[in-house]
A = this chain, B = another copy of it.
Amino acid sequence: MPTAALEALRAALDATGFIDASAPEAKRYLHDWTGDYLGAALAVLRPRSVEQVQALMRICAEHRIPIVPQGGNTGLVAGAVAGGPPSVVIVSLERLNRIREVDAANFTLRADAGAVLQTLKDAAESEDMLFPLALGAQGSCQIGGNVATNAGGINVLRYGMTRDLVLGLEAVLPDGNLWQGMTGLRKDNRGYDLKQLLIGSEGSLGIVTGVEVKLFPRPANVETAYLGVGSFADAMALFGMARRVCSDLLTAFEVIGSECIALATLSNPETRVPLGGEWPVHVLMELGCSSAIDGRALLEALLAEAFEAGLLGDGTIAQSRAQARAFWAIREDLVEGQAKRGRHVRTDLSVRLSEVARMIEEARSYVLSNWLGWEPIAYGHAGDGNIHFNVMPPLALSAEEVRDRGGDLLDGLYGIVRGLGGSFSAEHGVGRSRRAVYWEWLTPEQRKAVAAIKAAFDPMGIMNPGCLLSG
C-alpha cells in the first residue's frame, strides 16, 4: 500500500477532507444505493476547491492510484463505486457545492459539480425560471454526476438529456490540468466540441468540477391528463398527434401498461385510476406553457381530435394541482411497488418511436412463451422511445434464483432490442453492471474509437477503472 501517496493526499486536503477507508463514516461512499455493489477503497477524498481536485489528481497520477469520482451516488449501474480490490480512492465532490451565479439575461446558471440538482432547480425558480432536469433522485444527486452520466428523467421529451442542457463545463483532466470551458455561449463553432466527450463519460476521462446549464422560462400554466387507450400502437399514434397539435409544448408523455396498476396499489392501496372502464394502456401526458397560452383549450382540442380519430378510449384532465399530483403518484407508486415486490428483472430500453409498440409486443410474447410464471410489465417515457420493460419473477423464487435466471431472461430481452436497432441503456448508462453487454454490442470500429479516446485523455488508465471500459 502506497503510504507516501496517502500521506500526500491527506496533506493536500483539510482535516475533514480525508476519510480513512476503515472509518465508519467511509461506509456510505463504498456501496451504491441499491446495496448490490459493495466496493473497497484506500480512502475517501472530499476536496472543497477546484485546486484541491487538481492537487489530488496530480498525486494520484504520480503514484498511479486509480480514482473513482463520486457525486450523489444515486446511479443505477454501479459507475461511482469501486468494483475491484481496495487499490483506488473515492473522490466525492459533495463539498464542492456552491451555486456560482445565475445569469438571468443569459438564461444560464453556473454551479460547482457537487451542487445537488434540487438546489439548481430552486435557484432557477427563485428567478422565475426553470432548470428542467427532473429525476427521482433530484434531492440527492449532484449536477456533476448528472453531467458525467448524461442523466435523463421525465422532462427529456421537451428539454432533452443533460447533454442538451449543458452550455459550459470545467473539468480536471488526469494530468491535473484544468480544462476550462465555462463559456455560457449558445453558439460557438470553434472546432471539436470537447465538452461533449466529458458528458456521459462516467468519470472515465476526468473529474467535472463546474457546470453551466441552460435555464428556461418557467411554465406558469401546466395541464395534465390521464388517458386510457387501446394499445401501445394507439398510444404512439396519439403521441404523434399530440406533438403536432401542441407545437412541442408537451413536457411528458408517459405510458403505463395496465398490469402496472397492481404494483402501484401494492405501494399505495388508495390508488384510484381516473378512467371509466378498463384500458390496456394508460397515458400520462403533461404540457406546460406561459399564461398567455390557453393550455387547457389546447389539451381539449387534442383530446377531441384523438377521440374523433379513434385513438382515445377515455380520459381525465386534472382540475387542480392536487389532482395532477394524484395522476403522477400512480406513476411513482408503481416504481415503489416494484421494489416492494422484491428482486426482479429491470431494463432501460430504447428503440425508434416507430418500433416501440412492436418491441413491447415481442418482449411480452417472449416472456409469456418462455418464462412460465414470470410477469412482464411495461411503462416509461414513450415519447422518447424509452421503455422500462421489467419482469416480476414467480413469488416462490429466492432472490438468488431470480438473479441467476434473470440474467438469461435479460439476454433474451436484449436480443429483441438489438434486433430492432435499439439500445440496452436509454438513460441509466453503462457503469460496471452493463459493461459486458456494452462491449459485446460495439462494432470493432467503435471499440477502437472508444479505446483511442480513453488512451488520449487517460493514458495511465487511472480514471474510474472498470467503469465503461475494463479496469
- Asked whether A193 and B292 contact (CB < 8 A) given A354-B106, A423-B185, the answer is no
Contact segment of A21-29, A81-89, A194-202, A259-267 = A194-202
- Asked whether A189 and B352 contact (CB < 8 A) given A164-B164, A245-B290, A423-B183, the answer is no
Contact among B105, B178, B196 with A197 in the assembled complex (CB-CB below 8 Å): B196
Q: Does A191 contact B (CB under 8 A)?
A: yes
Determine the chain B residues whose CB is within 8 A of the CB of A126 once the complex forms: none
Which residues of chain A from 390 to 433 have any CB-CB distance to chain B below 8 Å in the complex?
A: 421-430
Query: Are A246 and B185 closer than 8 Å at their CB atoms?
Result: no
Q: Does A308 contact B (CB under 8 A)?
A: no
Query: Are A438 and B187 closer than 8 Å at their CB atoms?
Result: no
Contact among B240, B293, B384, B445 with A187 in the assembled complex (CB-CB below 8 Å): B384
Contact among B353, B381, B457 with A449 in the assembled complex (CB-CB below 8 Å): B457
Residue-by-residue, is A158-194 near B (CB-CB < 8 Å gives 1, otherwise 0)?
0001011000000001000111110111111111111
Determine the chain B residues whose CB is within 8 A of the CB of A106 once the complex forms: 352-354, 385
Determine the chain B residues whose CB is within 8 A of the CB of A385 once the complex forms: 106, 185-187
Residue-by-residue, is A231-249 near B (CB-CB < 8 Å gives 1, otherwise 0)?
0000011001001111111
Interface SS of A by simple majority: mixed
A249 to B287: give the CA distance in the assembly, Å: 14
A178: min CB distance to chain B, Å: 7
Q: Does A156 contact B (CB under 8 A)?
A: yes
State how many copies of this chain the complex holds: 2
Contact among B181, B200, B441 with A192 in the assembled complex (CB-CB below 8 Å): B200
Query: Are B192 and A105 closer than 8 Å at their CB atoms?
Result: no
Query: Are A186 and B217 closer than 8 Å at their CB atoms?
Result: no
Query: Are B353 and A446 closer than 8 Å at their CB atoms?
Result: no
Query: Are B180 and A443 closer than 8 Å at their CB atoms?
Result: yes
- Asked whether A105 and B354 contact (CB < 8 A) given A185-B385, A188-B426, A189-B425, the answer is yes
Determine the chain B residues whose CB is within 8 A of the CB of A191 once the complex forms: 200-202, 430, 438, 450, 468
Query: Are B427 and A187 closer than 8 Å at their CB atoms?
Result: yes
Q: Does A38 contact B (CB under 8 A)?
A: no
Which residue of B is nearest A426, CB measured? B187
Q: Does A152 contact B (CB under 8 A)?
A: yes
- Asked whether A179 and B445 contact (CB < 8 A) given A244-B290, A424-B190, A468-B191, the answer is yes
Sample of 25 A–B contacts (CB below 8 Å): A104-B240, A105-B240, A105-B352, A106-B354, A108-B352, A156-B186, A156-B187, A164-B164, A173-B445, A185-B352, A185-B426, A187-B385, A187-B427, A191-B201, A192-B200, A193-B197, A197-B197, A217-B243, A219-B247, A247-B290, A249-B249, A292-B297, A449-B456, A453-B453, A453-B456
